[in-house]
Structure 1
């Protein structure tokens, strides 16, 4: 009897010690890291994340490029549904996923609550059965962010998406896998996309977006730094990390950040902040209260409701009288003659958020060189009824370090990193020794 008691004590002690070790486990990484590429071979500049996935035979990784969309409700990409994938029936060099039945809760959940909010899209019904499977598939509506056109994809249990781990300074040798539900769309859905980009990576607040599937040892903090160049990638982090960019390898980028609250907006899974005023050379453009402002990785330029746009253009024209005007180039309404100079410098445009903090938009993010002789103010008239009143686009994001803290519901912004002698293309993607 005493032997049994001793054995029980030993087993209990072992389990207790094992649980304590698990509780004390600290991973060698603080975040995951993904390279971000800029694309200009389509109608508007777009940005993609390169993520590893696998062919059906699980013998090799394949890198897929996904458009970054911080508003999309779920992930979708080019793939084929195949219910008997584990029998080796997937065609060679094809990404096959296992279908979700129309009877499963994810199907109804995604269709009714976490779908694209576009009333122009036709309703979707039960999908066809796959040969030999016997269940209806789950079509979901998708909206092409390049063309705005509606389409359909089929919801699936997705394969592993694999990304590199990081200490915020380098890439580490370890990998991190996530297993989100996603939707399979035919290759025709991506004909308008940048070359070799065949998917949408949803980074919104939706429970079917990627951040939901990255929790665990990682904190719910996403950092995004869009590159202004095609020659080197920008960077996307997820996790509670310090962030370092060359050549200032000992300066944590977080020391450059100011923070404001993220605002929830009905019928959207995207990210919004409040802007109280726009200041140009010490003169404030009153926005009549806390103006809801959307952050977008799809809109190429900041869009302002007409009444705000007219005030900004009027004030900006006033403080740039020394620069010769030029005939406007669509989609812009205010342009300058740069034929006598290689570049121009203009006053900052400050977005004033809560507590008087300012997101300063410098020349690099406010002036777009359209031709050798013409540069334009990179803000667009969104119309008299534009809702939300302000949408901050990607040109204003470039070389700005942005942090979305989903736990504290705050948004961090650095203003231009160029003034700090670095850029978004300066993360060291060399693997740490």
Structure 2
């Protein structure tokens, strides 16, 4: 109760502060571009940060707790302010302490993690300016600014194994100081955001904070055609959905469905991740899933070939037709709250071309002692419009934009007259 009260006070403080945001009109939405790094397969974005404003490259972490940035290397800003111990901001950030920070002993200390390497360390909580592209419904290409955006300063070593030129990670999780919550508070948005990951290293996707429309085709708002499923509440700041079972070409895969549930400690379940490049399955689920897929594939005259690491099931592409939704391979359905609600995975999201003549099933063995039974990785999320509504705790998803002959790189940010939708 006390924690909730602190957050309400903290939110009110941000909203009434005249210096917190700066824009001639209140935006309907703010946008972040997404690119895919060819070497690491990480999804990257850019945020304008500090004073004077400079663009910084960040790894996008869907379940990340907040924004953290390397402050040890060339961090110069006239607007940077440390957050003091015992402040409302410190409380909202779930501080781990108030001493022993690597920069200042009187600064609020917070635990931060590189989710690629799983390395964690203490960093200081700070405030500085950020600016994002915005729209007010009639104008685009404007900039929306928050002058007192909370983030964590990190030591340089935490950047290990992140893409070249990256300065930190941008967290979109359910944490109170993650980007979605701070932007919603700062601009008065509904607490929702949408993610559309690009499938190519030469195209762009988008994170969309605030209200729709999501225009991927002329005069078509894709928020009107989403399928909805509850977000499963769990102890972490990450996003889980309730997969009940898996089907391949309409036939249920035989597996231990109890592992698909998530317990009070957060073990089990199905998580969405932009950090894992390919979906991972707990070993027993993976074995049953791959065997079932191979059986159906062979019945469709697909020819299995030697595996190509890190994938376990590969096929000759010679007799696999190409379609608008990718290779013509068995369809995978993740069945959610009922038989009528399912996430359909077509060949464009299930297969990975490893050579001109070889396609591999883009799912990996996550091990027998994994904390999460299924982690839906980036390849399976690409070209799916995903809307996270934090207020109602539900996920809206498109189940592949390819079937409508569009992709995440086709967002239209031109001015949209809402009355015409």
Same fold (TM over 0.5): yes
For the 8 Å contact 1:167–1:241, the answer to whether it is kept is no
Per the alignment, do residues 29 and 259 of structure 1 end up closer, same or farther by CA in structure 2, a change over 3 Å counting? same
Q: CA deviation at 1:331?
A: 2.1
Structure 1 counterpart SS, 2:232: coil
2:400 is the alignment partner of 1:416: yes
* Residue segments in structure 2 that go unaligned for 5+ positions in a row: 1-23, 262-268
Aligned partners of 1:191 and 1:311: how far apart in 2? 35
CA drift at 1:188 = 3.6
Give the conservation status (yes or no) of the 8 Å contact 1:171–1:428: no
CA distance in 1, matches of 2:319, 2:194: 39
Shift of 1:171: 3.2
Provide the C-alpha distance between the structure 2 equivalents of 1:92 and 1:358, rounded to a whole number of angstroms: 46
What whole-Å deviation, never above 9, does each CA across 1:107-139 have from its counterpart, x for those lacking one? 5664xx477xxxxxxx99523675xxxx53344
Aligned equivalents of 2:75 and 2:26: distance in 1?
Answer: 36
Instruction: Kindly state the Cα deviation for residue 361 of structure 1 after the two structures are TM-superposed.
Output: 0.6
Report if aligned partners of 2:95, 2:108 keep a CA contact under 8 Å in 1.
no
Q: Is the 8 A contact 1:221 1:407 kept in 2?
A: yes
Tell me which residue corresponds to 2:42. 46
Matched, 1:285 2:253: yes
TM-score (norm 2): 0.80
Question: What displacement does 1:71 show?
Answer: 1.8
Aligned ranges for residues 128-143 of structure 1 at < 5 Å? 130=104, 136-143=106-113
Does 2:103 correspond to 1:126? no
C-alpha distance in 2 between matches for 1:400 and 1:332:
23
Give the conservation status (yes or no) of the 8 Å contact 1:128–1:136. Answer: no
Q: Offset of 1:204 from its aligned partner? A: 0.6
2:194 alignment partner in structure 1: 223
Aligned partner of 1:119 in structure 2 is none
Q: How does 1:358-369 map to 2 (within 5 A)?
A: 358-369=342-353
Distance 1:108 1:93, change over 3 A: closer
Give CA-to-partner distance per residue, 1:126-184, whole Å, 9 cap, x none: 23675xxxx5334433322232333342221x212111213689834352436332111
2:128 counterpart residue number: 159
- TM score, norm. by length of structure 1: 0.78
> For structure 1, which segment, 321-330 or 400-409, has the greater mean C-alpha deviation from structure 2 after superposition?
321-330
Q: 1:432 to 1:401 in 2, by over 3 A?
A: closer
Kindly indicate whether the alpha-carbon contact (under 8 Å) linking 1:77 and 1:185 is maintained by their aligned counterparts in 2: yes
Per the alignment, residue 8 of structure 1 pairs with: none
**Residues 367-414 of structure 1: per-residue CA shift (max 9 Å, x gap):** 011222322111111122333211111110101100001111110110
Alignment of 1:240-389 (within 5 A): 240-245=211-216, 248-266=217-235, 268-285=236-253, 288=257, 291=261, 292-321=269-298, 322-338=301-317, 344-356=327-339, 357-389=341-373
**Any stretches of 5+ residues in structure 1 without a counterpart?**
1-25, 82-90, 116-122
Give me the whole-angstrom Cα distance separating, in 2, the residues matched to 1:328 and 1:201.
Answer: 35
